[in-house]
């Protein structure tokens, strides 16, 4: 009986912790968006950078041969930071190769950093998920 009560208490605690985490994440993103000069959240959205991070991470997981959830999370924990850097380098090379208007280079360089931002956010989520599994 005490075991069932402890289990129920832990479930409620986990739900509460998850809700608090989501609220804090939303507040952090709202603060980040508010800190831009125009308050425009599209500065942080680039589908190309996102696709590079997702696709390269997927390739790494498939090549690793891990099939269980913990194994996949461990692989992602190791490869997300390098994948973000590769995405940044790919973006940087593309920008420099197509730079005809040098006044737009600064805006495009900020887009280069987005793949690192996406990778770091994903790594934080993966580390938290991995800690809960172990």
Residue 4: pLDDT over 80: no
Q: Please indicate, yes or no, whether residues 9 and 66 belong to a single structural domain of this protein.
A: no
Distance CA 58, CA 124 (A): 17
Q: Using the predicted structure, report yes or no on whether residue 107 has a pLDDT greater than 80.
A: no
Q: Clarify whether residues 73 and 31 are in a common domain.
A: no
Say whether pLDDT at 39 is over 70: no
Check whether residue 24 and residue 39 sit in a common domain: yes
Contacts of 88 (CB under 8 A, 6+ apart): 112, 113, 115, 116
Same domain, 93 and 134: yes
Q: Which whole number is the average pLDDT over 1-29?
A: 75
Q: Whole domain around residue 25: which residue ranges?
A: 1-44
| Number of domains the chain contains | 2
**Looking at 44, 60, 78, which one is the last position of a domain?**
44
Q: Are residue 31 and residue 57 in the same domain, yes or no?
A: no
Among 7-21, 78-92, 116-130, name the one with the lowest average pLDDT: 7-21
Kindly state whether residues 90 and 31 are assigned to the same domain: no
The 3-state secondary structure of the chain, one letter per residue: CHHHHHHHHHHHHHHHHHHHHHHHHHHHHHHHHHCCCCCCHHHHCCHHHHHHHHHHHHHHHHHHCCCCHHHHHHHHHHHHHHHHHHHHHHHHHHHHHCCCCCCCHHHHHHHHCHHHHHHHHHHHHHHHHHHHHC
pLDDT tens readout for residues 45-66: 888 899 999 999 999 999 999 9
In this prediction, residues 75-82 reach a mean pLDDT of 95
pTM score, two decimals? 0.76
Clarify whether residues 31 and 65 are in a common domain.
Answer: no
Instruction: Give yes or no: residues 80 and 104 share one domain.
Output: yes
Residues 17 and 74 in one domain: no
**Judgement on whether residues 73 and 133 belong to the same structural domain of the protein:** yes
Q: Looking at the structure, tell me whether residues 71 and 100 fall in a common domain.
A: yes
């Amino acid at each position: 009986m005490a075991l069932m009560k402890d289990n129920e208490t832990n479930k409620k605690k986990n739900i509460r912790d998850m809700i608090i985490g989501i609220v804090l994440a939303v507040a952090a993103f709202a603060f980040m968006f508010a800190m831009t000069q125009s308050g425009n959240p599209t500065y942080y959205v680039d589908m190309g950078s996102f696709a590079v991070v997702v696709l390269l991470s997927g390739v790494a997981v498939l090549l690793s041969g891990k099939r269980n959830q913990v194994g996949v999370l461990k692989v992602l924990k190791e490869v997300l930071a390098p994948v973000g850097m590769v995405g940044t380098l790919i973006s940087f090379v593309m920008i420099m190769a197509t730079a005809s208007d040098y006044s737009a280079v600064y805006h495009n360089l900020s887009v280069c950093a987005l793949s690192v931002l996406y990778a770091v956010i994903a790594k934080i989520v993966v580390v938290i998920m991995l800690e809960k599994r172990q």
